[in-house]
Chains A and B, each alone.
Chain A
Amino acid sequence: MSTTTIDAREAEVSYLSEKFTLWSWLLSTDHKRIAILYLISITVFFFIGGIGAAVMRWNLIEPGGMVAPETYNRMFSMHGVMMVWFFLVPSIPATLGNFCIPLMIGARDLAFPKLNLMSWYIFVAAGLTEFYAMFAGGIDTGWTFYPTLSTGYTNGFVKVAAAGIFLSGFSSIATGVNFMVTIHRLRAPGMFWHRLPVFVWSHYAVSVIYVLATPMLTMTMVMLFFQRSFGVGMFDPRLGGDLVLYQHMFWFYSHPAVYIMILPGFGVISEIIPCFCHRRLFGYEFVVWCSMAIAVIGFFAWGHHMFVSGESIYSALVFSLMSYVVAVPSAIKVFNWVGTMHKAYIRFDAPMLYALGFIVLFTIGGLTGLWLANLPADVHLHDTYFVVAHFHYVMVGGMVTALFGGLHFWWPKMTGRMYPEMWGRAAALIIFIGFNMTFAPQFLLGWAGMPRRYATYPPEFQVLNVMSSAGASILAIGYLLPLLYLPWSLFRGARAPANPWDATGLEWQTPSPPPSVNFLATPIVTTGPYEYKEPEVLEQQRQDG
């Protein structure tokens, strides 16, 4: 990628080994260390959200339910709140993005390192607030907090939960501002916009959403807090307010946020596929501009969450159209990845297995989204398990798979150690199988009319529900495996070279793990991001010695 050859010099001290004390980590402004802090935090939140999912799947084994309906409501609310705001929204950007963006653009750190550390502290404070809400008694409103249930009728800890989400928003905004400014201002000499890796472009697109959508959510949470605390009626028609207004404001954030929960995944996949196919990304500019198109069009599709909420039919038509339109750039990306793989010599290492799983699962999730964008079909499918399966295919099948793929891909760079390849591949397969077993039956359940968020169901749905719960247990094993072998590799894994995958990209040209200043010499970029040599050329070079 650049004229600098791989810096084989062992870094005197890496960012990991330099001053390894608790305070040196907790007060570090090094983007690499903050990425690790974020990684540990979101892992904790992921497993707390996972507990909610486990109780739900356990409950749904029996048509009559296994836990009290009130408990069930609190479990799915905890699952949603934790997974959306405390795992998925920060997942790839705050960990892999934080770690890789400065390395990928040849910078020594993000533009505002202290702001970066502050965003982590805000995130942790928000998470602890949310913990308190969940364990003091929980909420039963679902993650969407729709009034007037949330403002009048529920007896849960809505105010504390809203405060936690309010806080977490500032952490997202800080990250978004930091990324955008960094990408604009700190690129290495020669790193022009069209030489940026797609991963960086995806994070630029995500940052636009972080900065311009999140404040609407924070304001919505302020109003929700006010209404619940003081009995005023911003969202209460009896007091002059408007119920659907809340839904508009909430989804004005939360629909673009859906793209926060997938665009970084696109970025990861766009790095992995060219590397393991050892060729250029097919249609680089299309992939880049599709990311930007998704970020922009994503702001104009929020109304499709309210097709049955009393939205005017003319608004619904426009929002339906926009929902179809946003599918186009997503599909273009899938074609580009497949085009990259076409007739390539593919290496099936663990990151590539995750990437392949991503393409399959995201495509299913995306295509079923088209059914839901369709007005008459949505009237039938709205609030059923079909919706649940659709967005889990995108967010879990897509984003979480991409996170795991990216984590394996950059693990050698982050830790200086190789993960055990056999276990990596096994986990990728187990996750893929378990995921499909969990969520494919839910499409059928939703199609047959099983509504979401109910603790009980008619007996004829039991077979599919048991299949789903059985699949969830396999999926859980798949997610637990990396939790065991990745920490193991920190101590016993083989030492990683600077560039174990023969990848292009500046991050692979500095030692693994990188020194605190990232690059021993500022890199100078002379070529595009995916200048992989075709295998024939490599073979020729090998013969020529």
Chain B
Amino acid sequence: MAEPQLTVEPEFQYSSLFAQAQTAVAGMWLFLAQECVFFGGMILTWVYARYWNEAGFDAGASHTVLWIGSVNVGILVTSSFVFACALLFVRAGQVRLTALALLGVIVLGSVFLLLKGYEWHLDFVAHNWVNDPDFPVKGPLEGGAKLFWTFYWVGTVLHAAHMVVGIGLVAYVLRRTLRRQFTPTYHVPIEVVGIFWGFVDIVWILLWPLIYLIGRLP
């Protein structure tokens, strides 16, 4: 598809557009290093607490909705694949396909959030909120099971918050794509958002076994 030639000027502090693009990518990677420590701290305490409360964690985990969590893994992995396609399309100058792929990412991300919201609803109905008086696990395992659900809520809510931010960012680059602001040589915002999207995807891939699988091991 032919598109009008753009002359994108670098911001005033950069010597060239190339330098600016590299800097933006570097900034996102550094931000993700920070995110690793953020989620890493939670996962470390999660594993540590599980070590001391194995039976309680298993009892809690058995009440999670396995199918939603697993379907959501598929949705997010697919969305990352579609995002990678968007990057290929923009490099090939295919503006319409790029926009379609980005729209696909937004749709997949929204489906993830809808399913997640439905799952939260099911959790509430099943009294899995941490200080619900009818919490399903009673007796000696109650403390451990509640700890599991604490981590479940902290982890899924924080992940969902990242998803919301991610969808907002994808919508932003979609808007700029539709305004023909990207060229095969200048499209670094798409690349930067893609790195972030991939990270949020990976976080879910780590949360999936922690929430749904380990407690169900025979």
The answer on a CB contact under 8 Å between A173 and B12 is no
From A111, A177, A185, A234, contact of B34 by CB (8 A): A177
- Give B152 Cβ to nearest chain A Cβ, in Å: 11
Contact A239 B143 (CB under 8 A): yes
**Contact at A220–B41, with CB atoms within 8 Å?**
yes
Shortest Cβ distance from A240 into B: residue: B143
Beta-carbon contact of A219 and B41 below 8 Å: yes
- Interface assignment of A245: CB less than 8 Å from any CB of chain B: yes
Residue pair B154, A181 in contact (C-beta under 8 Å) = no
Instruction: For the complex formed, measure the closest distance between the CB of A89 and the CB atoms of chain B, giving whole angstroms.
Output: 15
B147→A240 contact, CB < 8 A: yes
Provided the pairs A108-B13, A109-B13, A215-B34 are in contact, do residues A232 and B41 lie with their beta carbons within 8 angstroms? no
Q: Tell whether, in the assembled complex, residue B52 and residue A232 are in contact, meaning their CB atoms are under 8 Å apart.
A: no
Chain A residues near B33 (CB, 8 Å)?
A: 211-212
Given A108-B12, A184-B26, CB of A233 within 8 Å of CB of B34: no
Which residues, 272 to 330 on A, are CB-close (under 8 Å) to B?
none
Contact flags A108-145 to B (C-beta < 8 A → 1, else 0): 11111101000000000000000000000000000000
- B38 beta carbon closer than 8 Å to chain A: yes
Q: Cβ of B34 and Cβ of A173 under 8 Å apart?
A: yes
Chain A residues in 8 Å Cβ range of B41: 215-216, 219-220, 249, 252
**A223/B26 contact (C-beta < 8 A), A109-B13, A212-B34, A232-B147 known:** no
Complex CA–CA separation, A84 to B30 (angstroms): 25
B contact residues around A232 at 8 Å (CB): 130-131, 146-147, 150
CA distance A181 to B24 in the complex (A): 9
- Chain A residues, CB < 8 A from B12: 108-109, 517
**Partner pick for A218 among B38, B131, B147, CB 8 A cutoff:** B38
Stretch binding the partner chain, chosen from B42-50, B120-128, B174-182: B42-50
A153 interface contact, C-beta 8 A: no
Which residues of chain B have C-beta atoms less than 8 A from A241's C-beta?
49, 147
Contact of B131 (CB < 8 Å), options: A107, A178, A231:
A231
A238–B147 CA distance with the chains assembled, in angstroms: 12
The reply to whether the CB of B185 lies closer than 8 angstroms to some CB of chain A is: no
B53 within 8 A of A: yes
Complex CA distance for A176 and B45, rounded to whole angstroms: 25
- How far is B128's CA from A230's CA once the two chains are assembled, in angstroms? 13
In the bound complex, do residue B147 and residue A233 qualify as a contact, i.e. CB atoms below 8 Å apart? yes
Contact B48–A230 (Cβ < 8 Å)? no
Decide: A239 near B146, CB < 8 A? Known: A107-B13, A220-B41: yes
Q: Does B88 contact A (CB under 8 A)?
A: no
Tell yes or no: A8 within 8 A of B by CB: no
Contact A214-B13, Cβ < 8 Å, known A111-B27, A226-B154: no
Task: Specify the main secondary structure of chain B where it touches its partner.
Answer: helix
Q: A111-B13, A242-B48 are in contact. Are A223 and B37 (CB under 8 A)?
A: no
**In the bound complex, CA of A180 to CA of B26 (Å):** 10
In the complex, what residues of A have CB within 8 A of residue B23's CB? 111, 181, 185-186
Q: Give B44's nearest chain A residue, CB to CB.
A: A249
Interface string of A218-256 (1 = CB under 8 A from B): 111011001000111110001111100100010010000
Complex CA–CA separation, A109 to B144 (angstroms): 51
Residues of A within 8 A of B13 (CB): 102, 107-111, 113, 186
The residue in chain B whose Cβ has the minimal distance to the Cβ of A219 is: B41
Closest-by-CB residue of B relative to A177 is: B30
For A188, the closest partner residue in chain B by CB is B15
- Residue-wise interface mask of B (59-101) relative to A, using a CB-CB cutoff of 8 A (1 in contact, 0 not): 0000000000000000000000000000000000000000000
**For residues 146 through 186 of chain B, which have their beta carbon under 8 Å from a beta carbon of chain A?**
146-147, 150, 153-154, 158
Q: Determine which residue in A107, A113, A240 has the highest number of CB atoms from chain B within 10 A of its CB, and name it.
A: A240
Alpha-carbon separation in the docked complex, A241 to B50 (Å): 10
Residue in A closest to B14 when the chains form the complex, CB atoms:
A186
Q: Does A165 contact B (CB under 8 A)?
A: no
Indicate if the CB atoms of B131 and A222 lie closer than 8 Å.
no
B150: which A residues are within 8 A, CB to CB?
A: 226, 230, 232-234
CA distance A213 to B37 in the complex (A): 7
Q: How far is the CB of A152 from chain B (nearest CB, A)?
A: 14
Which residues of chain B come closer than 8 Å to A238, judged between CB atoms? 143
Q: Is the CB of A240 within 8 A of B52?
A: yes
Please name all residues of chain A whose beta carbon is closer than 8 Å to the beta carbon of B34 when the two chains form the complex.
Answer: 173, 176-177, 211-212, 214-215
B19 at the interface (CB under 8 A from A): yes
- Cβ of A180: which chain B residues have Cβ within 8 Å of it? 30
CA distance A331 to B53 in the complex (A): 45
Residues from chain B with a CB closer than 8 A to the CB of A178 are 27
A60-87: CB near B (< 8 Å → 1, else 0) gives 0000000000000000000000000000
* Cβ of B197 to closest chain A Cβ, rounded Å: 18
Query: Contact flags (1/0) for A500-524 with B, using CB distance below 8 Å?
Result: 0000000000000000010000000
Give chain B residues whose Cβ lies under 8 Å from the Cβ of A186: 13-14, 23
Partner pick for A215 among B27, B37, B130, CB 8 A cutoff = B37
Q: Enumerate the 5 nearest inter-chain pairs by beta-carbon distance, A residue then B residue, closest first.
A: A215-B38, A240-B143, A219-B41, A215-B37, A109-B13
What are 19 residue pairs bridging A and B, where the CB atoms are less than 8 Å apart in the complex? A102-B13, A108-B12, A112-B27, A115-B27, A176-B34, A177-B30, A177-B34, A185-B26, A186-B23, A222-B158, A231-B130, A231-B131, A232-B130, A232-B150, A234-B147, A240-B49, A241-B49, A242-B48, A245-B45
Residues in A lying within 8 Å of B, measured CB to CB: 102, 107-113, 115, 173, 176-178, 180-181, 184-186, 211-216, 218-220, 222-223, 226, 230-234, 238-242, 245, 249, 252, 517
